[in-house]
Amino acid sequence: MLTVTVALGERSYPIHIGNELTARSDLIIAHLAQPRVAVVTNPVVGELYLDRLSGALEKAGVAVVPIILPDGESHKTWQTLNLVFDRLLEQRCERKTTLIALGGGVIGDITGFAAAVYLRGVPFIQVPTTLLAQVDSSVGGKTGINHPMGKNMIGAFYQPRLVLADTDTLQSLPDRELAAGLAEVIKYGLIRDVDFLSWLEANMDKLVARDAQALAYAVRRSCEVKAQIVSEDERETDVRALLNLGHTFGHAIEAGLGFGTWLHGEAVAAGMVCASRLSERVCGLEASQSKRIASLVAAARLPTTPPKIEADRWLDLMGRDKKVAGGSIRFVLLEAIGRALLQRDIAPDDVLAAIRG
């Protein structure tokens, strides 16, 4: 087991990375305020891992309240959030009852948001079971739900007490879900770590083939980069915004097509290619580096071309993005691989040209 720490003073927490961790009740019990938890999951993940996690906790004397939510991004809504509150209230869960998110990014975001507002705040723990959740959404305290007009527009910054990333769960992922997680892994190399990007180029075939050692290293290095950035800028006032490379385009794709049509990582992958082309036009990114990015995205079995959305619709959706400031869209772009920056006041014609390729 490897451990990465998110350094936030008295709210610091560990990210444990390793195999068979969903059965390690000792790692969870160390962070409980009382021997009672509510485990939030969906039917797909629950069938695979709920008994393992719950059984280990119950054997150690912890009472478990299971909460099963519908599966998929399209269910990341107020209605689903209320299902969590209904169950917590029915079971008379208290302020010391810890919520445990067992699943991917949707479950993690909903559970974290529920924990942030139920009884004005209860503890929660992340047990991510997808690659995307292990390397990105479970770390850093971003929680929330979608609105029909935009992704993750309603939520809160609320840090977990612990992240438990069991890399065994990655072996059960559908190929499409695994690839979606690789998009966020690639992002870390692009914004801050050229050596990691080179490692990804050399090892992408191993990652796609689910080589356990390669996946463990990719999760660890991704978490190290994100933990460092979150420690520097927890609430995204500055450097943390760089983690959104490709996301302005990607969130527009998700909202424009309907949430769940493209997976988040698929939309971000095409968004990063668009961002690299925009970087060529306005930041001087070399065309060879932009092609290098597209090649790596393709090697991860991810889309390099965005879907067809009307030009006005693209601009309208991006204009609703959370990173808009003073009415101006802020894009995360690249001066070079490993050197990201925020850029605003970009001409719409340049944005649309980057989308068209």
Determine whether 251 is an active site residue: yes
Determine whether 323 is an active site residue: no
Determine whether 236 is an active site residue: yes
Give me the catalytic one of 75, 87, 221, 264. 264
pLDDT in tens, the chain (357 residues): 999 999 999 999 999 999 999 999 999 999 999 999 999 999 999 999 999 999 999 999 999 999 999 999 999 999 999 999 999 999 999 999 999 999 999 999 999 999 999 999 999 999 999 999 999 999 999 999 999 888 899 999 999 999 999 999 999 999 999 999 999 999 999 999 999 999 999 999 999 999 999 999 999 999 999 999 999 999 998 899 999 999 999 999 999 999 999 999 999 999 999 999 999 999 999 999 999 999 999 999 999 999 999 999 999 999 887 777 777 889 999 999 999 999 998 999 999 999 998
What's the half-sphere exposure (Cβ side, CA atoms, 13 Å) at 91?
20
Give the pLDDT of residue 128: 98
Determine whether 226 is an active site residue: yes
CATH number at 2-172: 3.40.50.1970
Give me the catalytic one of 151, 220, 221, 251. 251
Give me the catalytic one of 75, 151, 247, 323. 247
How far does the chain reach from its first CA to its final CA, in angstroms?
A: 43
Q: Give the global pTM.
A: 0.95
SS (H, E, C) the chain: CEEEEECCHHHCEEEEEECCHHHCHHHHHCCCCCCEEEEEECHHHHHHHHHHHHHHHHHCCCEEEEEECCCCHHHCCHHHHHHHHHHHHHCCCCCCCEEEEEECHHHHHHHHHHHHHHHHCCCEEEEECCHHHHHHHCCCCEEEEEECCEEEEEEEECCCCCEEEEHHHHHHCCHHHHHHHHHHHHHHHHHHCHHHHHHHHHHHHHHHCCCHHHHHHHHHHHHHHHHHHHHHCCCCCCHHHHHHCCHHHHHHHHHHHCCCCCCHHHHHHHHHHHHHHHHHHHHCCCHHHHHHHHHHHHHCCCCCCCCCCCHHHHHHHHCCCCCCECCECCEEEEEECCEEEEECCCCHHHHHHHHHC
CATH number at 175-356: 1.20.1090.10
Give the pLDDT of residue 326: 74
Give me the catalytic one of 75, 76, 87, 142. 142
Determine whether 31 is an active site residue: no
User: What are the residue boundaries of the structural domains of the chain, listed by start?
Assistant: 2-172, 175-356
Question: Is the distance from CB of 112 to CB of 127 less than 8 angstroms?
Answer: no
Give me the catalytic one of 75, 187, 226, 277. 226
- What are the pLDDT digits (tens) for 310-330? 999 999 999 887 777 777 889
Give the pLDDT of residue 150: 87
- What are the pLDDT digits (tens) for 184-210? 999 999 999 999 999 999 999 999 999
- Token look-up 């009672």 returns 36
Give me the catalytic one of 73, 234, 236, 266. 236
